[in-house]
Amino acid sequence: MTKYILKRLLISILTIWAVATVCFFLLRLLPGNPFILQNPLDMKNAEKMMAFYGLDKPLWEQYVSYLQSLLRLDFGYSLTHVGRSVNDVIVQYFPITAQLGIQALLLGMPIGMALGIVSAVRRGGAFDYGCQIGSVVSTSIPSFVLAAVMQLVFGVYLKWFPVSQWLSFRHTILPTIILSLGIIAGHCRSMRTLMLEVGRQDYLKTAKSKGISNVRIVVFHQIRNAILPMITGLGMEIASLLMGSYIIEKVFSIPGLGAYFVTSITGLDYTMTMGLVVFQAAIVVFANFVVDLLYGLIDPRVRIV
Amino acid sequence: MEEIKLTGHPFDDGLTDDDFAPVPDRSAIVDSIRPSMRYWPEVGRRLMKNKVAVFSILLLTVIVLMAILVPILSPYEYDATSLMSARKPPSWEHPFGTDKVGRDMFTRVFMGTRTSLIIGVVGAFLPFVLGMVIGAVSGWFGGKVDMIIMRVVDIMLCIPSMIYMILILVVLGGSPTSLIIALALSGWMGSARSFRGRILQFRNREFVLAATTLGARPGRIIVRHILPNILGNMAVGLCSAIPGAIFAEAGMSYIGLGISPPMTSLGQLSSDGMQVFLTQFYLFFFPSLIICLIVFALFLFGNALRDALDPKLRDEDYLARMYRKTRRLTIRNTKKEAAANE
């Protein structure tokens, strides 16, 4: 087990290193100069700034020094937000994005799974069809359209929730609901399919012929086996939710990390973009790592010795 | 297609001496057996029997026709400005109203539909094919090639797809072509992974072995022998990938990196309309409605196609409902009888 963990840890670190390398050279392929972009007339100052940030050195040297600072978990200083380090930005804005994502997941996952389980049990019935139609309709609307309509209805006309900003828990309700709709639809559909797949297995026939009650079969035999494959996808899902949906953040003017992603790329803020990408990659890798370990704990069949 | 009964089949009700007599006229038996159907015509027949599928096909056809015919149907140019008729609400002259520089929204919405549909279809198809080729190479050759390709996929999946999209759009500018390139380069990983799985699934099957023995090359085996087996699933996947591409375009337009004016797309029109949607609701409503209708129709069609490819699923749904109904009725009847006996 220790050997497996160590091996996975090594692969994780290698993956993050590869992401950092690819991203570093990809960003330098972009044409232009961040300081000329900020102030097009001031060529002299731009040169000074390049020298100050060490961007005038050969690319190879910059790469090595970047990796060295990465080892110290230091993402460097932003090129466009003067005097702010990327670490500061992440520490200040990541919790907001993470809160939104986690709230949406905590709201969406149980509801979606419950709907999926009920529609699998009442297969072919009115509830099942209702869920299928609901999931198609709710995924057919672009998130910013839905967000705008919800803002209008619940914020402007009914005045139940504030229209935008991120100040109190009440402000978080609308964006959480909108973000969780997609999660509900997705989990409902995959849970239903998995439940029906498990329903075809022989051990369920055995359970039934032993005379176990239907409720017991569904709860102890079907659900427990259907939930397992859902966990594999969880890592990716947590990671993408932790990084948030930039569009939702923009509609509700939530001060999350999303805005920095876009402005840093369009503003050629190399260090900021690099920092955010490496941070995101680290979260994805870490989430997958934890999920794989958990999977072994939950399902003894895949435990790696 | 009418129901054909299996009457006259010799093994229907036990064997008699007559059954062992030579058959005088074979056609009597052969005719009574259900005629064999080819796979895809059969799928098409089942699809046409499904009302939801027919509805979604009709809806899509109408939207596509409107997008193609709009220059003929509308007297206005999509980029012709007219300050005399700026900010007009919907009327007979301008069914969807006009925007702040007096461009006819009806023309613009359907020109935008054209752009969005092209981006949706090509932007879904291209990463799909790219992923297929890479996945096929990876799955078929295995070993080191497979390991390297899969590691690359893992690493690329770690970088959010929005980064690639923004990077490519910043470099190439906002045109349909650059959006399609961005979609292709950021979306091939998923399809490569699933196609690789499919290849592995079929690689060791007997018919592949037979083809290999006969000297077929890998390319031919994959295209002629394995592809037909997974074409159905791929079609269903493609149906849900098109909405994804349309949404990606809309999202990029909302961020401000999508199609640049005077060219237009549904995402751009809808997100522009959002700025004024308290005063000119129609500028927001119509493009958003068309996006929703296209995506809705595609999802419905995808679901119907899945059912048509695997009719067992629908039949099982129906059987499950009937099973529950009969059980409920039986329980009710037994209770009634028990009450009557008391």
**Cβ–Cβ gap A247/B163 under 8 Å:** no
In a domain, A212, yes or no: yes
Compute the count of residue pairs across chains A and B with CB atoms less than 8 Å apart: 116
Which residues, in sequence order, are CB contacts of B190 under 8 Å at separation 6+?
A: B131, B157
Q: Is A208 on the interface with B (CB under 8 A)?
A: no
Q: Which two tokens stand for residue A22?
A: 């690819």
In a domain, A48, yes or no: no
- Where on the phi/psi map is residue B8: left (φ > 0), alpha (ψ -120 to 50), or beta? left
Distance in angstroms (rounded) separating the CA atoms of residues A201 and A218: 13
In a domain, A27, yes or no: no
Q: How far is A254 from chain B (nearest CA, A)?
A: 14
Q: How far is A14 from chain B (nearest CA, A)?
A: 10
Nearest residue of chain A to residue B252 (CA atoms): A247
- The confidence band for B33, taking pLDDT boundaries of 50, 70 and 90, is low
In a domain, B49, yes or no: no
In a domain, A125, yes or no: yes
In a domain, B91, yes or no: yes
- Within 10 angstroms of residue B212's Cβ, the number of other Cβ atoms is 14
Q: Over the Cα atoms of chain B, what is R_g? A: 28
Contact A144, A253 (CB under 8 A): no
The pLDDT profile of chain A, 305 residues, written as one tens digit per residue, is 788 888 888 888 888 888 888 888 888 877 777 777 777 767 777 777 777 777 777 888 888 888 888 888 888 888 777 778 888 888 888 888 888 888 999 999 999 999 999 998 888 888 988 998 899 888 888 888 888 888 888 888 888 888 777 878 888 888 999 989 988 998 998 899 898 888 888 888 888 899 888 888 888 888 888 888 888 778 778 777 776 678 888 888 888 888 788 788 878 888 888 888 888 888 888 888 888 888 777 777 766 54
Residues of A in contact with B303 (CB under 8 A): 132, 136
Chain A interface mutation, best of B119, B152, B157, B158, highest count of A Cβ atoms under 10 Å: B158
**Domain residues for A163?**
89-265
Distance in angstroms (rounded) separating the CA atoms of residues A110 and A187: 9
Amino acid sitting at position A43: M
Contact B113, B66 (CB under 8 A): yes
User: Of A230-239, B137-146, B228-237, which gets the smallest average pLDDT?
Assistant: A230-239
In a domain, B170, yes or no: yes
CA B261-B263-B267 angle, 5° bins: 85
In a domain, A163, yes or no: yes
- Number of domains present in the structure of chain A: 1
Q: Which two tokens stand for residue B286?
A: 């119509």
In a domain, A177, yes or no: yes
* Distance between first and last Cα of chain A: 5
- The residue whose two tokens read 């999202």 is B251
**Cβ–Cβ gap B255/A124 under 8 Å:** no
Report the residue from A125, A148, A266 with minimal CB separation from B170. Answer: A266
**Domain residues for B247?**
54-330
**Cβ–Cβ gap B163/A243 under 8 Å:** no
In a domain, A288, yes or no: no
Nearest residue of chain A to residue B256 (CA atoms): A262
CATH number of the domain bearing residue A153: 1.10.3720.10
**Cβ–Cβ gap A144/B274 under 8 Å:** yes
Distance in angstroms (rounded) separating the CA atoms of residues B130 and B136: 10
CA B323-B48-A124 angle, 5° bins: 20
**Cβ–Cβ gap A285/B254 under 8 Å:** no
Report the residue from A15, A136, A250 with minimal CB separation from B299. Answer: A136
* Buried residues in A1-38 as b, exposed as e (16+ CB within 10 A): eeeeeeebeeebeebbebbbebbbebbeebeebbbbeb
Distance in angstroms (rounded) separating the CA atoms of residues B241 and B131: 13
In a domain, B11, yes or no: no
- Number of domains present in the structure of chain B: 1
pLDDT at B14 over 70: no
Distance in angstroms (rounded) separating the CA atoms of residues A138 and B174: 29
Residues of A in contact with B300 (CB under 8 A): 136
Q: Which of A134, A264, A167 is nearest to B160 (CA)?
A: A264
Sign of torsion over alpha carbons A33, A39, A44, A50:
negative
Q: What's the pLDDT tens digit per position in B44-81?
A: 888 888 888 999 999 999 999 998 988 888 777 777 77
CATH number of the domain bearing residue B86: 1.10.3720.10
Chain B residues at the A interface, defined by Cβ less than 8 Å, are 151, 154-160, 162-163, 166-167, 170-171, 243, 247, 250-251, 254-255, 257, 267, 270-271, 274, 277-278, 284, 288, 291-292, 295-296, 299-300, 303, 316-321, 324
- Where on the phi/psi map is residue B310: left (φ > 0), alpha (ψ -120 to 50), or beta? beta
Q: Is A32 on the interface with B (CB under 8 A)?
A: no
In a domain, A110, yes or no: yes
Q: Which of B281, B238, B297 is nearest to B63 (CA)?
A: B297
Report the residue from A19, A125, A196 with minimal CB separation from B159. Answer: A19
pLDDT at B34 over 70: no
